[in-house]
Amino acid sequence: MAPTINWALDLLVGWVGLSIPPDAAVGYVLAALVQVGMILNLAAVGGLVFIWLERKIAGRIQDRLGPTRVGGRFGWLQTVADGLKLLTKEDLMPTSADSLLFRVAPYIGVAASVAAFVALPFAGGPHPFVVQRLDIAVFFVLAVLGLEVFSIILAGYSSASKWSLFGAMREAAQVVSYEVPLGLCAVVPVMLAGSMDLVTVGDVQRGGFWNWHVLNDPFTLIVFCVYFTCATASVNRAPFDLAEAESELVGGFHTEYSGMRWSFFFLAEYSSMLLVSLLAAILFLGAWHGPVPLGMNGEGWLGSVVGLGVANYLGNLLGLACLMTKGVFLVIIMMWVRWSMPRLRIDQVMTTCLKYCTPLAAVCFLGATAWQAAFPAGLLWRPPTPGLVEISEQKTSPGGAAARSQGREPLEAIGYALPPLRGFSTEAPQ
Amino acid sequence: MILASLVTEPVGVAHYLIVGAVLFIAGIVCMATKRNLLGVLMGVELVLNGANVNFIAIGSPYLRGDAASVGLDGQLMALFVIVLAAAEAAVALAIALNFYNTVHTIDVDAADQLRG
Amino acid sequence: MIWHSVLFTLFAAIACGFAMAVVFTSNVVRMAFYLVISLSATSGLFFLAGADFVGAMQLMIYVGGTLVLLIFGVMLTAQQRFVQMRPSRSEVLLAGLLGAALLVLLASAAVGVPTWRGSGPKAAALDEPPLTATPIALGLLGFRVDGDPDDGQNRAGYLLPFEIISVHLLVVLVGAAYLARTRLTAGSLAQQPPGGFEQDAAEDRIAEVEAIAADSPGTEGPPT
């Protein structure tokens, strides 16, 4: 993106006789600002919409209307009005609080949940919509998302309040319970795709809904359910919202917060809800691919009508719409669960995660591995994936040529499909 | 002068080694001066982390070029260090818990029961 | 101006500054917080050096492990008398002097090797993000894809160390759970002095330790 911006700027300043080289700093700074701005907007606007949506859904589930006044019949502007109210509230801090940690805690949560979007692709194909395509994107997203609990524990500790500390301790007990099954579940689609790159994980599910990882075999269906349960726990949503159990702990970890700092916790919560939902959609629900082949990525009829480049872009937009639809659908399910299920006790949370979810995920991991070994090509028709075609073409990919030259068996003999290795020579040494 | 050269000149292995040294020294001083058992543990974490920085720097293809770098060995070693640090933290925490249950404090100076 | 160097300076300053802050503060919870920031900045340094897998691993395990330290800090030191514990002034002075001397030694050694200084073109060509996950996973399986087999540099794989460390980790976890549990069951809960924690607190703590022990196996196999 940066060279494109520099090229455009070069055209602009060309009128006054100046020139900008393609690798000028200004392009990189602008590109970074644009991408950061888009992610921040997604988190903030997503938060606005989801809070309104949650109130409407809660109303419907409880047989009432929800917000109806601010901004017309459906209360569209209710969240904006709430935000204005929060802005004007006094910012309080308890005298015995640890002032530094108390101030810093909300920002850590927001920073962690927004930073995880950096590695999340919104559309795939040859030119994916992603800020930074990482080889280890799944791992990175989970690791950064794990930092969010710091904000809750620090807030709970630094408030110097009994209720807050209870909330923080519950969160601590909860985080060590759900992280194990969450990680185990995320490994299964990674194993099926043969890569931790989210773009590749999404693109191997192309073709149709029968190719989605969730429908790959019976085990992945269970794994998806376990993942979604643990993801709900990881974003502190009911029935796992023990850290802020408002009927027992006043407000839990945010008891002492008010005004904007308080709302930052909710911004973080809603944007990480969207994040884990999008991650679930990419890992299990076919990512940016529609339930039937929609002619994305420039293939099919669209490419022949408007040209490949434009078709790629349009296909990416279509994929973005698909992915967001799936993500928002999962977020709505989380809200539905929240307003229909009673809250678990802390020991029940730990029992659920450690005694049921973890063994279930482990067994399903083994089952999915066995299924993959039994039916490596799947049961139904699967179109070739660009990334993986390369693998089968460069038969002996990494170091294989070198191994052959030494008379050893190539790496493919161990039976794993490998993603192409950029930066490593695949040619035989002369 | 030196500060300006930090942003205008390419980073080499030496830069990383100095960072590693600072982390290492901070960890050592932390281990030596803290009376809180958990503070001593954090010092150990810092020391291991400083060692990791050195491994990564020596193994990085960007800093030394492919020929001079030790390749993936650096990263693999760093991985082993991280895993061992996790194991060390688990055992040390169990010991800290036992210690607290025995003497009802986490002041390491209280651990003098083996004195002859 | 080189972006790589700017970012390196930024992350290095954060890592070193907060490592120093860990040394100089005496509040245990703040210490843990500074440690988390220092470790996170170090993972940024790893990303800059092209070791993205190790960087993410650092974030997940090291920082997550420190989270556990933080929780224990809160649990064990929630009483006010433990929050601040200072060593004597002479100890601090001695440790500081020795540390400074060692730092000067290490830094001069690091700067003294000519091939360790920054080399221009290599550090500048950083546009392509590295691919390290698959080579590392293959290395752990015993296959090395880096290095050139022709010039005698065929490097060894790490299958045996990987297996050893997996078993080691399992043993450590069982041992840690056992260590933390025996004291609480066989020990004298009934003979706790006044002011010690009560029964449910002890049970909560058992649950915590079990949870922590169960958490760490996730660190064992890098999911590649």
Is CATH 1.20.120.1200 what the domain over C1-130 is classified as, yes or no? yes
Question: Higher model confidence: residue A18 or residue A174?
Answer: A174
User: What residue numbers bound the domain in which B65 lies?
Assistant: 12-107
Q: Return the structure tokens found at A18.
A: 């100046």
Q: Do C42 and B106 touch (CB under 8 A)?
A: no
Per-residue model confidence (pLDDT) at position A415: 40
Instruction: Calculate how close chain A gets to C190, using CA atoms only, in Å.
Output: 23
Per-residue model confidence (pLDDT) at position C63: 79
- What is chain B's mean pLDDT, rounded? 81
Per-residue model confidence (pLDDT) at position A407: 38
Secondary structure of C1-68 in HEC code, one letter for each residue: CCHHHHHHHHHHHHHHHHHHHHHHCCEHHHHHHHHHHHHHHHHHHHHHCCCHHHHHHHHHHHHHHHHH
> Above 60 in pLDDT, residue A14?
yes
* Residue B50 near residue C106, CB atoms below 8 Å: no
Which residues of A fall within a CB distance of 8 Å from C146? 424
Q: What is the mean pLDDT of residues C33-44?
A: 90
Q: Is B99 a member of any domain?
A: yes
Mutate to test the interface with C, among B3, B11, B53 (most CBs of C within 10 A): B11
Q: Is B58 a member of any domain?
A: yes
Q: Do B90 and C12 touch (CB under 8 A)?
A: no
Q: Return the structure tokens found at A342.
A: 């009673």
> Above 60 in pLDDT, residue A397?
no
Question: Higher model confidence: residue A388 or residue B15?
Answer: B15
What CA–CA distance (Å, rounded) separates A355 from A353? 6
Question: Higher model confidence: residue B72 or residue B54?
Answer: B54
Q: Is B114 a member of any domain?
A: no
pLDDT band at A314 (very low <50, low <70, confident <90, very high): confident
Please tell me what DSSP assigns to residue C58: I
**Domain extent listing, chain C:** 1-130, 132-224
- What is chain A's mean pLDDT, rounded? 78
- What is chain C's mean pLDDT, rounded? 73
Mutate to test the interface with C, among B83, B84, B103 (most CBs of C within 10 A): B83
What CA–CA distance (Å, rounded) separates C213 from A173? 12
> Above 80 in pLDDT, residue C125?
no
Which residues of B fall within a CB distance of 8 Å from C132? 72, 75
What CA–CA distance (Å, rounded) separates B79 from B51? 11
Which residues of B fall within a CB distance of 8 Å from C213? 90
Per-residue model confidence (pLDDT) at position A289: 80
> Above 80 in pLDDT, residue A141?
yes
Place of tokens 């455009």: A8
Instruction: Calculate how close chain C gets to B17, using CA atoms only, in Å.
Output: 6
Question: Side-chain half-sphere of C127: how many Cα atoms within 13 Å?
Answer: 7
> Above 70 in pLDDT, residue C111?
yes
Residue C114: what residue type? P
Which residues of C fall within a CB distance of 8 Å from A150? 33, 36, 67, 70
Per-residue model confidence (pLDDT) at position B24: 92
Per-residue model confidence (pLDDT) at position C186: 44
Per-residue model confidence (pLDDT) at position B87: 86
Q: What is the mean pLDDT of residues A317-340?
A: 88
Q: Do C215 and A180 touch (CB under 8 A)?
A: yes
Secondary structure of A90-114 in HEC code, one letter for each residue: CCCCCCCCCHHHHHHHHHHHHHHHH
What CA–CA distance (Å, rounded) separates B38 from C70? 9
Q: Do C183 and B23 touch (CB under 8 A)?
A: no
ipTM topping 0.95: no
Q: What is the pLDDT of residues C56-65, one digit of tens each?
A: 888 888 877 7
* Residue A144 near residue A116, CB atoms below 8 Å: yes
Q: What is the pLDDT of residues B84-114, one digit of tens each?
A: 888 888 888 888 888 887 777 777 777 777 7
Tally of domains in chain B: 1
φ, ψ for residue C197, nearest 5 deg: -75, 160
* Cis peptide bond upstream of A239, omega within 30: yes
Please tell me what DSSP assigns to residue A343: P
Mutate to test the interface with A, among C10, C30, C33, C59 (most CBs of A within 10 A): C33
**Domain extent listing, chain A:** 1-85, 89-374
In this structure, the number of other CB atoms found within 10 A of the CB of residue C147 comes to 19
Q: Is B67 a member of any domain?
A: yes
